[in-house]
Amino acid sequence: MPDAVGTAAPPAAAAEGARRRAVFHPLRVEAVRPLTPEAIEVTFAVPPELAGAFEYRPGQHVALRMTIDGDEVRRSYSLCRAPSPGDAARGSSIRVAIKRERGGAFSTWAVEHLAAGDVVEVMSPDGHFTPHGRYERPAHFAAIAAGSGITPVMALIEHHLGERPDDTFDLVYSNRTAGDAMFLDDLADLKDRFPSRLALHHVLTRERRPADLFSGRLDERRLETLLTRVLRADLIDEWFLCGPFELVERARAVLLRLGVDASAIRVELFSTGRAEDRRGTVPPPVEAAPGEPVRTIFFRLDGTSGTVTTPVSARETILAAALRTRGDVPFACAGGVCGTCRAVLREGTVDMAQNHALEPDELARGLILTCQSVPTSDTVSVDWDA
């Protein structure tokens, strides 16, 4: 992946996109701030010795891991603030925003119970929802965000307006009502600081705004009108789409129809919207009956090799099989959207059920999502270190 843009590039490891070992670290909650009645912003303290592990680019996310009612639960959350240099003695901090999901065990627990002083397992940052271009000139970005999709966009806006004096940002931000909108005051503050460089376009689906264009669902017609009459899609360098699966796909389709190049569109999903994809857990281990045909998975992880077999009939994913012998195989969503489980397929063939995380160039380089990939050849070899 190309470097982050221009002079505002954050520290080397994160900026160059080098694959960092995805490891959980216990971090202490420094503060919890209510954003809306259903959402909180959580600040984690990063001690100086973990500063390198938590360097990140704006737009990246972390996975959180907790045990709730005896079950391990993992969820990915975007970092919602621009990276800022820490203090060598006291360390730095990272922040995520958590919104209560209907039926979401983790988010409900966090919104109701998480408090300063708690310790949560946090995985080192990851993700591609970052500018891919290298800009020597002022860049113009635009984002279409809905609900908690604003979270990574906040970090992008804060970084590009604060660190690059001539970049501009257009934000289309859709919520049901103004009371549901996260970071409303923070966005207003950014608008006060950068009045000519930030354009905010709030859309409310269940509340009337003075202009019809900004009241109602972001359907294709409304999106097309916004993108042609308000935003000038042809002048924007890169697009960031984050929100429910259907909205993101609709917005991408409209942009492509308007002539925007697919390579200029970044997409971030933490869920496909299907209930079975939101668990952050892998299916229970399977066992082969005596004499049952199996496939063999060779893998490399953290510099060591391993082997595991899986019954052909079970259609077990590579991730689920490998977790039987190595509990530290990286994963977060287990639903094909976060990309944490990606590895290079060195040998063999797989059937990958879903992919909402890997980009075409990564697929061309042989990357697969191991949480979605079932071996289809007698042997496969995957490399999590590549």
Strand partners, 270: none
Does 337 bind ligand FES (CB under 6 A)? Our answer is: yes
**In this complex, which beta carbon is closest to ligand FES, that of residue 24 or of residue 169?**
24
Per-residue binding letters, 274-313, with ligand FES (x by CB under 6 A): ----------------------------------------
**In this complex, which beta carbon is closest to ligand FES, that of residue 36 or of residue 355?**
355
**In this complex, which beta carbon is closest to ligand FES, that of residue 182 or of residue 341?**
341
DSSP 107-169: HHHHHHH--TT-EEEEEPPB---S--S--SS--EEEEEEEGGGHHHHHHHHHHHHHHSTT-EE
Does 329 bind ligand FES (CB under 6 A)? Our answer is: no
Does 231 bind ligand FES (CB under 6 A)? Our answer is: no
Quick check: helix, strand or coil at residue 233?
helix
- Whether residue 190 contacts residue 154, with contact meaning beta carbons closer than 8 Å, is answered with no
- Select from 90-98, 220-228, 301-309, 325-333 the region that touches ligand FES (CB under 6 A): 325-333
User: Which of 36, 78, 130, 340 forms a contact with ligand FES (CB under 6 A)?
Assistant: 340
Task: Output the CA angle 231-99-248, nearest 5 degrees.
Answer: 35
Q: How far is CA 203 from each of CA 169, 215, 216, 223, 247, rounded to the nearest angstrom? A: 17, 6, 7, 11, 13
Does 144 bind ligand FES (CB under 6 A)? Our answer is: no
- Select from 119-127, 234-242, 251-259, 327-335 the region that touches ligand FES (CB under 6 A): 327-335
Half-sphere exposure of 287 toward its Cβ, with a 13 Å CA cutoff?
Answer: 2
Does 336 bind ligand FES (CB under 6 A)? Our answer is: yes
Smallest separation, CB 224 to ligand FES (Å): 31
Smallest separation, CB 104 to ligand FES (Å): 16
User: Which of 371, 374, 380, 382 forms a contact with ligand FES (CB under 6 A)?
Assistant: 371
- The span from the CA of 245 to the CA of 125, in Å, is 22
Token digits for 162? 């604060």
Report how far Cα 303 is from the mean position of its chain's Cα atoms.
26
| # of chain residues touching ligand FES (CB under 6 A) | 13
Question: 10 Å Cβ neighbour count for 244?
Answer: 17
- Select from 92-100, 122-130, 133-141, 335-343 the region that touches ligand FES (CB under 6 A): 335-343
Does 334 bind ligand FES (CB under 6 A)? Our answer is: yes
User: Which of 339, 348, 359, 368 forms a contact with ligand FES (CB under 6 A)?
Assistant: 339
- The span from the CA of 40 to the CA of 37, in Å, is 8
Does 333 bind ligand FES (CB under 6 A)? Our answer is: yes
Does 125 bind ligand FES (CB under 6 A)? Our answer is: no
**In this complex, which beta carbon is closest to ligand FES, that of residue 118 or of residue 249?**
249
End-to-end CA distance of the chain: 14
Does 352 bind ligand FES (CB under 6 A)? Our answer is: no
Does 226 bind ligand FES (CB under 6 A)? Our answer is: no
- Select from 28-36, 94-102, 177-185, 336-344 the region that touches ligand FES (CB under 6 A): 336-344
Does 15 bind ligand FES (CB under 6 A)? Our answer is: no
Helix H segments across 8-57? 12-15
- The span from the CA of 55 to the CA of 63, in Å, is 14
- Select from 38-46, 221-229, 254-262, 334-342 the region that touches ligand FES (CB under 6 A): 334-342
Q: What share of the chain is helix, strand, coil (3-state, %, to 5)?
A: 25, 30, 45
Query: What contacts 385, CB < 8 A, 6 or more positions away?
Result: 19, 300, 301, 302, 303
User: Which of 146, 338, 352, 374 forms a contact with ligand FES (CB under 6 A)?
Assistant: 338
State the residues that interact with ligand FES by CB under 6 A. 331-334, 336-341, 357, 369, 371
